[in-house]
Structure 1
Amino acid sequence: MKGLWKNVAAASALALLGLGSAAEAKTQIVWWDFLAGGDGVRMKALISAFQKDNPDIEINATTLEWGVPFYTKVQTSAAIGQGPDVMTYHLSRLPLGVSTGTLRPFTDDELKSVGLTKDDYFASDWDAAHVDGKLYAVPLDIHSIVLYYNKDLLKKAGLLGDDGKPKGFDGLDNFNAALKALTDAGSGHYALSMHNGQPDGSSVWRIFYTLLSQQGGTFMKDGKVLDGDNLGKAEKALNAMANWAAQGWMPKNTTYPSSIALFTSGKAAMHINGVWEVPTMVDLAKQNKLGFEWGAIPVPTLFEHPATWADSHAFAIPNRKGNDIAPDKLKAVLTTIAWINKHSIDWASAGHIPAYKPVTESPAFETLKPNADYSALAKTAVFDPKSTITGVASPAYDAATNFMEPAVNGQMDAKSAIEQTRDELQNALQ
């Protein structure tokens, strides 16, 4: 009996050793992201699904505070050889990350090893992922601003086409006429709502940059901000927005939550905001809390060229000083990035347009509404200038808060606001 127990103990020990080896065989990768709300829920689900398909890789994920705190933490940790193996990153912030030596570039061969190539991505997205000819991030999506609309109110004003989409909106004069008609027909309701109040001018920047780009304007080039006739185009863009408020077609000093509530309560016929609010509309509609049919389309072309501000969530690898990513971890990171890209139809449910074209061009995406109705903007997307002072949570956004937003609300004339924006950002480049 004593010998039997000895054999059992030995077998158990071997089994435990086997289990230990299996556990050790897993490649552990540290992941940081800034994804909260619906984005966070969807990414966690993607990570869980990935690990079921790839049991040899374990992702230890941490969500940090969005904006400046995230990018500061990434920069400081990489400088001392710490931080994640992979992280989410906005393409608009790549220039800052590259300038501080925080990011490690990807090579073509690394992408090819997991079946990714340049041809898989939209040109605007792919270009924004490069700095000085090197690829510093792999795009996951294109997220932009869109025009949300109340079909019932547009139909009442004679502005809804047979296809269920707005009609007669192209051109600033036509759009303004539509805003007036919606206001006149709305029993005291607004034609449009947008976030144009505290705490920041992010929405004002996105709409301003859209209208500047539609004129063929360039915000920054060769180290000069709003040089030449771009200053006049910028003033024209800001004046257009200020006029909407001055005419009473949209309310002034509206906070972000209030701008959404005006639309979802039926008190504003249209709403300009990011695609990230699509889940809000979808959920309210499912709960029968909207009380009207809604849709979303690209922001109309109000000037000469179709163009819309855009940014992208992407994946990047930090350049950890003295602690480069190990080959096995790099392979696991690349495998993770490729898998999530190829399964990004689930990410699209957050309102985003997948950057990976085989998904965006798939039958599954074509039936995804309203995403498919505004997917064309992926080809006309304009990213913020490649600069350390532009992009999310940047000095350009601060200037929009300090100067552009007051101009939209009639507290400053557009010319002064644009000139002060130019001067402040030009000084920031020195």
Structure 2
Amino acid sequence: MIGQSKRWLLVACCSLILLTACNRTELTTSDGRIQLNYWVLFGGGDLSYMQDIVTSFNESQDEIYVNIVLQDFDDYYTKLVTSVAANRGPDVAVSHAAVLPELVNQGLTVPLNDLSQEVGLDFNDFYENLQEAMQVDGSYHAVPLDSHPFILYVNTELAEEAGLLDDDGQPIIEETPEGFLNFFQEAKEALPDKTGIAIPTGGLDVYRWWWTIYFQMGGTPIFSDDLTNPDITLDEEIAVEAADYLLQFFGDVIPMHMSDPYENFQSGNAFSLMTGVWGTGIWEAAELPFTAVPFPQLFDVDAAQGGSHTLIMPIHSETTDERQRAKMEFIQYVSDSGLDWAKAGHIPSKPEIVESQEYQDMPYRSDYASISADVVYTDQTIYQMSAETDMTRSLDEIMAGRLTPEEGIQKMINDLEITIR
């Protein structure tokens, strides 16, 4: 099996002649401002909030102008690798934290340690787990915008009807493995015509849920700490136990093979939904009666699954100190705009912003913000994206009943071995 990073390089090498559509903007505007090209992969409400931040930056000063460029999510990283290899990449780009080690290993990003000091950006201002996720081989290569953990959404009208809300309007969940399952079983008994949990039988949300349970059970990292030559350190026994726990929900409170969990929840046909915090802005806009809560700690360890949107500075063979500083000033501005970015539902990357009264006054967000410090980010290896595919596919087989948890986790380990060798 060809690793993800190798596939990207192969595509990049084969696509250099097709880059006429990726031309960079002019270096300056007609009025002499430094002009920067900023690539994003956001959709839906996320995009509009980021557009507002960029507009605010452009209006805040008269020396730098940023063009926001939306790229299609499905082939975003392929386009990014290809364009940077051809020296036609963006000046600043969004990257998920999980992808950062692969981009760094390919030599596509600028280390930010010195540049951050020039503009007064201090990485110690970010959550500690985010600081660690931004470092590859001892250098910072990205600035975090947020954390977006896996959380629980509950339809409050349905929960009230089922008698499962407390006096503060929050779900009454006993934070034990049995209590969590019982919560949804009680909802299903009270609301037999409603879906207990809107989540697909397979895919990323099941992977996120399994990841949460695995690490709450005390699971070890998936890989050893080695960028290009890791060992698999996944705890097979705990991995099986976590998959077995999830399996109890399927076919009972979770119907098999649900086609559109989001539509199911938004239409009022589902009691709850488990997904990332980006749903908050969606349900607000839809004026849905809901509450958003952290995934409860059901086992011994405080742990949550989540990712982070980050900003990177792709390399350019010809640039100037002035342009590099301009890029860093923009990155700093966006990282400081956590309150505006939080409107989409994401948790700001700086505790200072999360603890501010302005953030605490925002509905829903403060209810789950505490989980940010517990997010277990992916390992620093170039194989993470391929590994995620391996793990997701194995979990799909387990939840669909085609493999037992023992068989599925063994398949997961076998596939991971193939991926990294």
Which category describes the TM-score, using the shorter chain as reference length? 0.7 to 0.9
- Of 96, 99, 115, the residue aligned with 2:102 is 96
- Of 408, 411, 415, the residue aligned with 1:417 is 408
Asked whether the equivalents of residues 74 and 102 of structure 1 are also in contact (C-alpha less than 8 Å), the reply is no
In structure 2, how many angstroms separate the alpha carbons of the residues matched to 1:365 and 1:129? 24
Residue of structure 1 in register with 2:33 after alignment: 26
Question: Gaps (5+ residues) in structure 1?
Answer: 1-20
Residue of structure 2 in register with 1:377 after alignment: 371
Residues 194-218 of structure 1, C-alpha deviation per residue, up to 9 Å, x if partnerless? 1334xxx211211111111111202
| 1:77 CA displacement | 2.3
Are 2:172 and 1:167 aligned? yes
Residues 115-143 of structure 1, C-alpha deviation per residue, up to 9 Å, x if partnerless? 32122101111110111111010001111
- Of 67, 70, 81, the residue aligned with 1:75 is 81
In structure 2, how many angstroms separate the alpha carbons of the residues matched to 1:169 and 1:283? 30
Q: Which has the larger radius of gyration?
A: 1
| 1:24 CA displacement | 4.9
Amino acid at match of 1:376: S
| 1:226 CA displacement | 4.6
Residues 252-278 of structure 1, C-alpha deviation per residue, up to 9 Å, x if partnerless? 1123xx211222233221110111111
In structure 1, how many angstroms separate the alpha carbons of the residues matched to 2:207 and 2:392? 8
In structure 1, how many angstroms separate the alpha carbons of the residues matched to 2:108 and 2:117? 24
SS in 2 for 1:193: coil
Asked whether the equivalents of residues 182 and 190 of structure 1 are also in contact (C-alpha less than 8 Å), the reply is no
SS in 2 for 1:382: coil
Asked whether the equivalents of residues 387 and 419 of structure 2 are also in contact (C-alpha less than 8 Å), the reply is no
- Of 295, 318, 329, the residue aligned with 2:291 is 295
| 1:22 CA displacement | 9.0
Of 135-144 and 397-406, more deviation after overlay is shown by: 397-406
Amino acid at match of 2:330: T
| 1:45 CA displacement | 1.3
| 1:84 CA displacement | 1.2
- Of 322, 330, 333, the residue aligned with 1:328 is 322
Amino acid at match of 1:249: V
Cα distance 1:189–1:126, how it changes in 2: closer, same or farther (>3 A)?
same
Asked whether the equivalents of residues 150 and 266 of structure 1 are also in contact (C-alpha less than 8 Å), the reply is yes
Asked whether the equivalents of residues 389 and 396 of structure 1 are also in contact (C-alpha less than 8 Å), the reply is yes
Are 2:272 and 1:270 aligned? yes
Cα distance 1:138–1:302, how it changes in 2: closer, same or farther (>3 A)?
same
SS in 1 for 2:48: helix
Asked whether the equivalents of residues 32 and 63 of structure 1 are also in contact (C-alpha less than 8 Å), the reply is yes
In structure 2, how many angstroms separate the alpha carbons of the residues matched to 1:205 and 1:387? 18
In structure 2, how many angstroms separate the alpha carbons of the residues matched to 1:334 and 1:25? 19
SS in 2 for 1:147: strand
SS in 1 for 2:291: strand
Asked whether the equivalents of residues 226 and 422 of structure 1 are also in contact (C-alpha less than 8 Å), the reply is no
Residues 98-124 of structure 1, C-alpha deviation per residue, up to 9 Å, x if partnerless? 1111111101x4223323212210111
Cα distance 1:416–1:22, how it changes in 2: closer, same or farther (>3 A)?
closer
- Of 413, 421, 427, the residue aligned with 2:418 is 427
In structure 2, how many angstroms separate the alpha carbons of the residues matched to 1:224 and 1:22? 50
In structure 1, how many angstroms separate the alpha carbons of the residues matched to 2:146 and 2:271? 28
Cα distance 1:24–1:151, how it changes in 2: closer, same or farther (>3 A)?
closer
Residues 159-200 of structure 1, C-alpha deviation per residue, up to 9 Å, x if partnerless? 322222122331111111112111111133222111334xxx
TM-score normalized by the length of structure 2: 0.88
| 1:50 CA displacement | 0.7
Asked whether the equivalents of residues 29 and 35 of structure 2 are also in contact (C-alpha less than 8 Å), the reply is no
RMSD: 1.8
Cα distance 1:36–1:266, how it changes in 2: closer, same or farther (>3 A)?
closer
- Of 329, 334, 338, the residue aligned with 1:344 is 338
Amino acid at match of 2:81: Q
Amino acid at match of 2:282: T
Asked whether the equivalents of residues 91 and 313 of structure 1 are also in contact (C-alpha less than 8 Å), the reply is yes
In structure 2, how many angstroms separate the alpha carbons of the residues matched to 1:118 and 1:328? 22
SS in 1 for 2:402: coil
| 1:339 CA displacement | 1.4
Question: Gaps (5+ residues) in structure 2?
Answer: 1-27, 225-229
| 1:219 CA displacement | 4.0
Residue of structure 1 in register with 2:123 after alignment: 118
In structure 2, how many angstroms separate the alpha carbons of the residues matched to 1:113 and 1:401? 42
Residue of structure 2 in register with 1:18 after alignment: none
